[in-house]
Amino acid sequence: MTARHKAIETISNHRVAATQNYLEHAGEDIYGQYVFHEGVQRDYLPKPIFRRLRRVIDGLEPFAPEIADAVAHGIKEWAMAHGATHYTHWFVPMTGSTAEKHDSFLSPISDGATVAEFSGKNLMQGEPDASSFPSGGIRATFEARGYTAWDVTSPIFLQVEPNGVTLTIPTAYVSFTGEALDHKIPMLRSQEALGKQALRILRWFGNTAATRVFTNIGPEQEYFLVDRRLAEQRPDLLLTGRTLFGAQPPKGQELEDQYFGPIRERILAFMMDLDRELWRLGIPSKTRHNEVAPGQFEMAPVYEPTSVGSDHNMVVMQTMRRLAPQHGLAFLIHEKPFAGINGSGKHNNWSMSTDLGENLLDPGTDPHANAQFLAFLIAVIRAVDVHAGILRASIADAGQDHRLGANEAPPAIMSIFLGSQLEDVIAQIEQGAASGSKKGGHVALGVTSLPVLARDATDRNRTSPFAFTGNKFEFRAVGSSAPIYWPQTVLNTAVADSLSRLADDLETLKPGDFDGLTAILSGVVKQHSRVLFEGNGYSSEWHQEAARRGLPNNRTTVDALPALATDEAKAVFSKFGVLSERELDARVDIFWERYVKVQNIEANTALDIAKTMILPATAVYLGQLASAGYSRGVKSVADKVASLADDLVDAIHTLEHAQHAAHNAGSVQAEARQFVDVVIPAQNALRVVADELETLVSDELWPMPKYRELLFQY
Ligand code: ADP
Ligand code: MG
């Protein structure tokens, strides 16, 4: 029996193990169990310390070092009561994965015993010897060490595993010269920038009560699960997260029987464990369902402030990765694990709200609220048009190149879908000022006659990268594996810029001058309505139409990244204090490097599989055919297989040469371009030959689990 067949036999005998006492874990009673939330803060901290910490968390005062020791003591007591022996500063370096180094509380004392220690300093600041994280040159030049600083806005939590518990402190990672070495700091800065500009607009509308504006994030997370015993027989899945080979199975997603279908027992068991674990971590997991492709699923939490929700999404992905093996499953977060069926995205639902709970993207119910809503909406429209290049770049990644623009995911063209009712309103605003008069049939634009907008929850467009859905935008083009921080940073910065221009204009008007407001909004719409598109984003007509409109269409990462190196990009990030020129350069360098490294790993893996697995299996099969005798049919198959074997060897050599040539391209950008133009096509050509062999070589001999097994065998 081959390893494949053994795996399948085990899978057939897999029985879901019931979770003990699941009725006791139904939600409320476990929610936030692993979080140092307000309730436990009250229990574990002296009252005055508790009150001051709450003010810090609410952004009302800076963290005062003199309360640090008392806070740390309370946290330690709480963590140890839950069995914690270690603590860690948890952060998101520019690798895009989370990082953690654990330290025990243990501290030896003179008589050979130990005590548990955790000081204010331990809580507030860590200094990981983190010389191996990419810094894009920031740390090399300044010889600055990096340190981690507690991010009070994100809740402290426990990582509880079968053999122990670790106290986990979300931190920001920064160089001693104050430069951001992580993805989180720029995101926090971008929130602040957006908030400041949004408040200017609110003040013009007469809102004097709000003191802060921040963004919310509700990330819908798509992912695949396949049987682990099968996945582990695929070096490509193991090393690259996607299949580099694999013939199309006789059945794919064409019957559309997976989407929202009944959830298999084994998958549901995973999802149930996942939900319980997320609830314990204070992550409001809400929705679970089967997605379009076989083996594909989705979870969505209730939205949260972006500073919390983006950390939570990292924990969600990590928890999925950790729990899957407990169910004999492998977790695939890649944007395109399988050719020929849908890939995975992360739909970032995004809105802006005030500290008093007003959602600035909610149409509201009276004309005044509508006017304010339209001002924010139109500012977002301008942001997406003006900053389409950096927004596209913010979601660029090797994995995304397989997904964006394919017939399953939004195109690489940034456009906005509003829904018919709003689109109509916007069109009339555009015309209104054009004619300078308020003709019949057009909406009169004075505040007294702005239409009351009903929330239109039914209008949906799955093909748009950026869709308005009632009271929020859904940034649908984000990749499934992407940390939320970077796309949100870019979006917030783009919107901050747009709001600041609008505020500049409004501040020249008297408050309450709604005709003036209308003229300004009308002008903005006229200039930027080209970014609005209601039709089918998957269609080739849209690609032509977008080109006519002059909208950028950067198909690959290599086409997209240069937008981050322009003077405009540098200006906007530095104007709003989100990223200095050096910090931006550092990130762009890292993105290029990462792209080339990923492509090299994929090419290496493809070559390895082709040479050591597929070619040998083909040769054995040829031998079998040769000894099978003189049948005309068998001979013709043997000829075909022999000729494909030759093609395979040729394709291997072509890929090797292409990869080698790319290494000598000079710069990382030139190497990346060669990958797009030459290496990836060579790798695809190799795949075509290998996949055809898969359809001919004896199933017994085929060295890797096939698509039909990965996608349908649970
Ligand atoms: P839809 O079907 O319109 O996509 P859902 O109710 O399924 O809406 O919500 C999808 C995600 O959007 C969820 O994570 C939800 O919490 C989030 N969401 C809802 N309202 C907002 C909002 N105002 N801001 C940000 N996210 C939101
Ligand atoms: Mg949605």
Q: Whose CA is nearest to atom 11 of ligand 1?
A: 218
> Which of the listed residues 303, 460, 475 should we mutate to test ligand 1's pocket, taking the one with most ligand atoms within 8 A of CB?
303
Q: Find the residues whose C-beta lies inside 6 A of ligand 1.
A: 216, 218, 220, 300-303, 349-351, 359, 469, 471-472, 474
Task: List the one residue out of 358, 60, 55, 59 whose CA is nearest residue 208.
Answer: 358
Q: Whose CA is nearest to atom 6 of ligand 1?
A: 302
CA of 220 to the centre of ligand 1 (A): 8
CA–CA separation, 72 and 121 (whole Å)? 8
302-341: pLDDT as tens digits? 999 999 999 999 999 999 999 999 999 999 999 999 999 9
CA of 126 to the centre of ligand 1 (A): 36
- Contact between residue 273 and residue 323 where contact means Cβ atoms under 8 Å apart: yes
Q: Whose CA is nearest to atom 4 of ligand 1?
A: 469
At residue 329's C-alpha, the angle toward residues 296 and 15, to 5°, is 110
Task: List the one residue out of 68, 106, 69 whose CA is nearest residue 87.
Answer: 106
- Contact between residue 498 and residue 383 where contact means Cβ atoms under 8 Å apart: yes
CA of 347 to the centre of ligand 2 (A): 7
* Closest atom of ligand 1 relative to the 287 alpha carbon: 7
| pLDDT for residue 447 | 44
Q: Which ligand is nearest to the CA of 349?
A: 1
CA of 245 to the centre of ligand 2 (A): 32
* Closest atom of ligand 1 relative to the 471 alpha carbon: 23
* Closest atom of ligand 1 relative to the 460 alpha carbon: 3
Q: Which residues of the chain have pLDDT under 70?
A: 19-26, 129-131, 139-144, 432-459
| pLDDT for residue 141 | 52
Q: Which ligand is nearest to the CA of 470?
A: 1
| pLDDT for residue 289 | 94
CA of 473 to the centre of ligand 1 (A): 9
State the amino acid at position 34 in one-letter form.
Y
* Closest atom of ligand 1 relative to the 301 alpha carbon: 14
CA–CA separation, 169 and 121 (whole Å)? 13
Task: Give the three-state DSSP class for 709.
Answer: helix
CA of 474 to the centre of ligand 2 (A): 7
Residue with tokens 């690259």: 240
Mention every residue, 6+ apart, whose C-beta is less than 8 A from residue 132.
Answer: none
| pLDDT for residue 363 | 84
* Closest atom of ligand 1 relative to the 474 alpha carbon: 4
CA of 31 to the centre of ligand 1 (A): 21
CA of 422 to the centre of ligand 1 (A): 19
Q: Whose CA is nearest to atom 19 of ligand 1?
A: 303
| pLDDT for residue 459 | 62
* Closest atom of ligand 1 relative to the 362 alpha carbon: 23
* Closest atom of ligand 1 relative to the 302 alpha carbon: 16
CA–CA separation, 92 and 38 (whole Å)? 25
Q: Which ligand is nearest to the CA of 302?
A: 1
CA of 472 to the centre of ligand 1 (A): 7
Q: Containing H/E element for 304?
A: strand 304-305
Q: Which ligand is nearest to the CA of 303?
A: 1
CA–CA separation, 281 and 277 (whole Å)? 6
Q: Which residues pair with 353 in a beta bridge?
A: 214, 359
CB atoms within 10 A of CB 202: 21
CA of 284 to the centre of ligand 1 (A): 12
Q: Which ligand is nearest to the CA of 218?
A: 1
Tokens of 179: 């430069």
| pLDDT for residue 132 | 74
CA of 313 to the centre of ligand 1 (A): 15
Mention every residue, 6+ apart, whose C-beta is less than 8 A from residue 520.
Answer: 502, 505, 506, 509
| pLDDT for residue 24 | 58
| pLDDT for residue 436 | 35
> Which of the listed residues 349, 469, 473 should we mutate to test ligand 1's pocket, taking the one with most ligand atoms within 8 A of CB?
349
- CATH class of the domain at 594-712: mainly alpha
* Closest atom of ligand 1 relative to the 470 alpha carbon: 3
Task: Give the three-state DSSP class for 550.
Answer: coil
Q: Which ligand is nearest to the CA of 219?
A: 1
Task: List the one residue out of 328, 360, 255, 342 whose CA is nearest residue 295.
Answer: 342
Q: Which ligand is nearest to the CA of 220?
A: 1
- CATH class of the domain at 30-182: alpha beta
CA of 303 to the centre of ligand 1 (A): 6
Residue with tokens 């839950």: 82
CA–CA separation, 457 and 463 (whole Å)? 17
Return the domain boundaries, the chain.
30-182, 190-437+460-579, 594-712
Q: Containing H/E element for 85?
A: strand 84-90
| pLDDT for residue 441 | 35
At residue 140's C-alpha, the angle toward residues 137 and 141, to 5°, is 85
CA of 491 to the centre of ligand 1 (A): 17
Q: Whose CA is nearest to atom 3 of ligand 1?
A: 469
CATH of region 190-437+460-579: 3.30.590.10
CA–CA separation, 120 and 49 (whole Å)? 13
CA–CA separation, 576 and 193 (whole Å)? 6
